[in-house]
């Protein structure tokens, strides 16, 4: 069941919102509407659902309405029209007290510029949400300390925000948001103010935490790398509208329109990186030495659904599927005769990653990287995405062991 359901959600800043809405219906652009009415379209009829435990990334260029959208979700900004359902309750129409209850118990927010209270210590900052709820002192200090342990700041409780580095401050921001154990985390460009290295650490850490916590996370970013690294699904915004929602692969491989494509092209290294940079060591069987028995064993061991077949000189012969091998094994067949398939996609070592997208898209088997007919490596979808997100192909190569 979706935790958050957003339907037709709009925000128009300015006075003549009714008029602006009408013009929107007529299909006028954001700029035209601004010119005609003086009102700014922040978010234009956004609809989407976020499942429990999902990391839902909202991405778009500056001014596309990301911050506005995320603030509509906890109603820091009043919607002009539309619904936001959280666990089946409509936030957009509920009274102040109910809204406060949801903000206290179900949703927390992490801010781009951390928004820590400078006159409160790290611990007191982390306790803020619980304090507001009226939790007693003992309990809130325990929970806050737990949250600080979780983000690795257990020994900094007495410090003040100004004494911490940016990365540490945002950990406090994260701990503050986690301390009251919300269902939903709203993160508005939470890592954008950090320098690139620390940013990557924080992304990894968030993913580690997410493994344990399984929160529903709405993560805003203007950075495709970040979106690819942490998003289960990505929504792309332009001029206040959501133009595409999909998994990272879908977005990369089927850009819904020019806008998305441009965005994706910005990931320049997809042109720079080649197959060689991102390939993994293949699991193979040797057609001259092995038979279905060995193949089946290896396939099971590795949890695969197929495996490449080579000869003694590493020449690529084709691949076998788990089903075929298993059937051959039952018939006590000794060699791969008749079950080797050859319809696998192959690329050269120097094929740019960009071109591999199209090939890998509808293939059931990993892409084979060959050099003069010899199998050098394989590329699976996951590593393709990861390579783009990582920014360094060799790193993927490095940790494939």
Partner 1 sequence: MMLDIFSKLTFLSIFTDIKEFFNKQIPVADWVDEAVKWTTDTFSWFFDPIKEDFGDQLEKFAELLADIPPSIVIVITVIIAFFLSGKKFGLPSFTLVGLLFIYNQQLWEQLMSTFTLVLVASLISVIVGIPVGILMSKSKWAEAIIKPILDFMQTMPAFVYLIPAVVFFGIGMVPGVFASFIFATPPVVRFTNLGIRQVSKELVEASDAFGTTGSQKLFKVELPMAKTTIMAGVNQTVMLSLSMVVIASMIGAPGLGRDVLSALQRASAGTGFVAGLSIVILAIIMDRITQNINKEKS
Q: Give the binding site for ligand ATP (CB under 6 A).
A: 13, 40, 42, 60, 62-68, 222
Q: Does 207 bind partner 1 (CB under 8 A)?
A: no
Cβ(385)–Cβ(228) under 8 Å?
yes
Candidates 28, 61, 76, 213; binder of partner 1 (CB under 8 A) is: 76
- Report the DSSP pairing between strands 55-60 and 216-221: parallel
109 contact, one of partner 1, ligand ATP, Mg ion, none, CB 5-8 Å limit per kind: partner 1
Buried b (16+ CB within 10 A) or exposed e, 13-27: bbeebebbbebbeee
Stretch that binds Mg ion, among 67-75, 132-140, 208-216, 339-347 (CB under 5 A): 67-75
Residue 218: CB minimum distance to partner 1, A: 13
Residue 28: CB minimum distance to Mg ion, A: 24
Residue 35: CB minimum distance to ligand ATP, A: 13
Nearer to Mg ion, 67 or 244 (CB): 67
Residue 361: CB minimum distance to ligand ATP, A: 30
Q: Among residue numbers 191 through 230, which ones bind Mg ion (CB under 5 A)?
A: none
| E strand intervals along 137-240 | 184-188, 216-221, 233-238
Judged on CB neighbours under 10 Å (0-12, 13-18, 19+), 33 is buried
Q: Residue 189 has which token pair? A: 């460009």
Q: Which residues pair with 5 in a beta bridge?
A: 49, 85
Cβ(236)–Cβ(263) under 8 Å?
yes
Nearer to partner 1, 71 or 143 (CB): 71
Q: Among residue numbers 97 through 116, which ones bind partner 1 (CB under 8 A)?
A: 99-105, 107-109, 111-113, 115
Give the C-alpha separation, 283 to 261, whole Å: 34
Q: Sheet harboring 306-310: ordered strands across?
A: 284-286, 306-310, 316-321
Nearer to Mg ion, 34 or 77 (CB): 77
* Runs of H (alpha helix) within 38-136: 66-73, 96-105, 122-133
Candidates 71, 145, 222, 233; binder of partner 1 (CB under 8 A) is: 71
Stretch that binds partner 1, among 93-101, 162-170, 275-283, 340-348 (CB under 8 A): 93-101
Between vectors from CA 368 to CA 364 and to CA 373, what angle results, nearest 5°?
140
Nearer to partner 1, 179 or 388 (CB): 179
Select from 347, 387, 386, 339 the least CA-distant residue to 363.
347
Cβ(195)–Cβ(170) under 8 Å?
no
Nearer to Mg ion, 193 or 294 (CB): 193
End-to-end CA, the chain: 37
Give the C-alpha separation, 142 to 148, whole Å: 10
357 contact, one of partner 1, ligand ATP, Mg ion, none, CB 5-8 Å limit per kind: none
Candidates 37, 74, 203, 244; binder of partner 1 (CB under 8 A) is: 74
User: How many residues sit in the footprint of partner 1 (CB under 8 A)?
Assistant: 27
Residue 45: CB minimum distance to partner 1, A: 24
- Report the DSSP pairing between strands 40-51 and 107-110: unpaired
222 contact, one of partner 1, ligand ATP, Mg ion, none, CB 5-8 Å limit per kind: ligand ATP
Q: Does 67 bind Mg ion (CB under 5 A)?
A: yes
13 contact, one of partner 1, ligand ATP, Mg ion, none, CB 5-8 Å limit per kind: ligand ATP
Nearer to ligand ATP, 115 or 209 (CB): 115
Query: CB-hemisphere CA count at 13 Å for 290?
Result: 21
Q: Write the CB contacts of 169 (distance below 8 Å, at least 6 apart in sequence).
A: 114, 116, 161
* Binding site residues, partner 1, CB under 8 A: 71, 74, 76, 99-105, 107-109, 111-113, 115, 117-119, 128-129, 131-133, 180, 186
Residues forming contacts to Mg ion in the complex (CB under 5 A) are 67
């Amino acid at each position: 069941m979706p935790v958050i359901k957003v339907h037709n959600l709009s925000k128009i800043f300015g006075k003549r919102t009714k008029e602006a809405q009408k013009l929107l219906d007529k299909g006028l652009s954001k700029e035209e509407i601004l010119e005609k009415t003086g009102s700014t379209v922040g978010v234009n009829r956004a609809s989407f659902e976020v499942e429990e435990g999902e990391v839902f990334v909202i991405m778009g260029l500056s001014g596309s309405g990301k911050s506005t959208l995320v603030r509509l979700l906890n109603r820091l900004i009043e919607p002009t029209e539309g619904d936001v359902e959280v666990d089946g309750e409509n936030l957009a129409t509920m009274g102040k007290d109910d809204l406060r209850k949801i903000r206290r118990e179900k949703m927390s927010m992490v801010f781009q510029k951390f928004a820590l209270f400078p006159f409160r210590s790290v611990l007191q900052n982390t306790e803020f949400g619980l304090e507001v709820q009226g939790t007693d002192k003992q309990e809130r200090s325990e929970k806050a300390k737990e949250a600080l342990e979780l983000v690795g700041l257990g020994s900094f409780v007495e410090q003040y925000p100004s004494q911490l580095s940016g990365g540490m401050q945002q950990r406090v921001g994260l701990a503050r948001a986690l301390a009251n154990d919300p269902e939903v985390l709203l993160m508005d460009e939470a890592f954008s103010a950090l320098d690139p290295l620390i940013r990557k650490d924080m992304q990894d850490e968030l993913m580690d935490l997410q493994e344990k916590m399984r929160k529903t996370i709405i993560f805003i970013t203007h950075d495709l790398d970040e979106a690819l690294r942490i998003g289960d699904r990505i929504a792309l915004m332009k001029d206040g509208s959501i133009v595409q929602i999909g998994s990272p692969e879908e977005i990369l491989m089927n850009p819904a329109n020019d806008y998305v494509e441009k965005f994706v092209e910005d990931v320049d290294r997809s042109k720079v990186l080649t197959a060689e940079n991102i390939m993994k060591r293949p699991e193979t069987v040797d057609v001259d030495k092995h038979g279905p028995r060995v193949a089946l064993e290896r396939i099971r061991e590795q949890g695969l659904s197929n495996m490449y077949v080579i000869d003694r000189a590493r020449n690529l012969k084709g691949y076998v599927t788990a089903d075929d091998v298993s059937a051959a094994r039952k018939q006590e067949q000794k060699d791969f005769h008749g079950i080797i398939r050859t319809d696998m996609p192959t690329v050269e070592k120097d094929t740019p990653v960009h071109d591999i997208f199209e090939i890998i898209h509808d293939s059931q088997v990993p892409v084979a990287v060959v050099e003069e007919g010899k199998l050098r490596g394989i590329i699976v979808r996951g590593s393709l995405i990861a390579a783009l997100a990582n920014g360094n192909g060799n790193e993927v190569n490095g940790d494939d062991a």
